[in-house]
Amino acid sequence: MLRFAPSPTGDMHIGNLRAAIFNYIIAKQSNEKFLIRIEDTDVARNIEGKDKEILNLLNLFGLLWDKLVYQSDNFTHHRKLAEYLISKDLAFYCYCSKAFLESKRLEAKEQKKPFRYDPKWAELEKHSNPKPVVRIRGAKSAISFEDAIKGHVRFEADEIDSFVILKEDGIPTYNFACAVDDMLYDVSFIVRGEDHVSNTPRQILIHRALGYEKVLGYAHLPIILGESGGKMSKRDSASSVAWLLEEGFLPQAIVNYLVSIGNHTPTEVFKLKDCFEWFDIKHIAKSPVKFDMKKLRFLNREHLKALNEQEFALLLDSKDPTLGALAKLYLQEASTLNEIREKIKLLFAPKNIAQTENNESFESECKILYAHLQEMIKSHSEDLKDYESLKTALMQRTQLKGKKFFKPLRILLTGSTHGLELSELYPYLRFFLSDIVTLGSQDYSMLSQFKERD
């Protein structure tokens, strides 16, 4: 069993998604089940609805689970196992107040020593503190494990003191609930962020205390740095999976990117299912990787190029494949769906003929061209069938030429004085001429811009 264990206390980070992707790939490669475990033990910090948001995102990325569980459903098992450890003197009640422990931390800091809990303190405040916690007894010898990325990792006994496994309200701590649930669901391999490295020996200690002999595999992923080279924080928009999707990055492109970074892949562009053939967690670099927006934009463009016209149109809320074909042309100068939407929006918006280029106005020429274009559209002129015949007819009608012809024509057809060649665009624009060649200031909604056509 492979598992991804998100906490419903905040938005999904790209580091979380990367761990989910790797766990899913390994599950498919080893023909094992993929478990989603919502770790909702931090009752005070849980955000209502975040679990559903996480599940929706996983579904969107194609990370389909075989089993879904909520950690809180196992609280009874956690408490029973804690009681078992107490009965075996492998865990004990601790009545220390938070104030007492804080004073001991300050004392250790003043002495420039690492803080270590001393079991002798356990009952010092028994008569004044009616709500004890439960602590597991610390390690008596070093604990080590093999990490598929980091190699051999070892923690000395004095680094693993007696830590809390049940809080004063009876709710299990993260490490205890995590270790117990990995046992209950027979998890075999765990991929997670390197911020969990120090948790691993504690979870191994819990397994040993409970007599669980299965040796789990581990891979702790290095962090993803921001583009500036510092640790990514919530202030970095790109750290949020939801933000990337809102910006118009495709799920398959994000997967491609997250599998690629810090990794040697046989091809630059691939889909999730392709990874099942060649992915190896041992090839992931040990060092932190820097987020590269340019690379993500490149991959997103490549995945957009791979879409057919119908698929592209649907992403733009239209059923018209012609619009999809038009959108694909704009991939020459755009990389995300949002950028494409802006290009399309400009096409269908009423044209601003007062715009200038290098302080040169084409307003009068636009008005002349507009009048003739409207006449040709209303009469269904044969000259509208292709760009060359349109250009020839309009030049003859208006006597305009050169920049005084092409700039205003571009403004009327695209809303801008520069961009892709009109000869490339027109074979698709001609199907929308009555919607495109408009003047005015009214605000068209996206729905009215992307009209469905038979």
Known binding-site residues for ATP equal 234
DSSP string, 410-433: HHHHHSSSS-S-HHHHHHHHGGGH
Rounded-to-integer distance, Cα 380 and Cα 292, Å: 50
Rounded-to-integer distance, Cα 126 and Cα 304, Å: 65
Residue 95 DSSP class: -
Annotated binding site: 234
Residue 75 phi/psi, 5° resolution? Answer: -55, -40
Give the three-state DSSP class for 420.
coil
The residues facing 153 across adjacent strands are 145
Contact 223, 193 (CB under 8 A): yes
Helices 337-348 and 403-414 sit at what angle, rounded to 10 degrees?
Answer: 110
Handedness of CA 274, 276, 278, 279 (dihedral sign): positive
Q: Could you give the residue ranges of the DSSP H alpha helices within 130-271?
A: 174-184, 199-209, 241-246, 251-260
Contact 452, 446 (CB under 8 A): no
Rounded-to-integer distance, Cα 170 and Cα 337, Å: 49
**Cα–chain center distance at 100:** 42
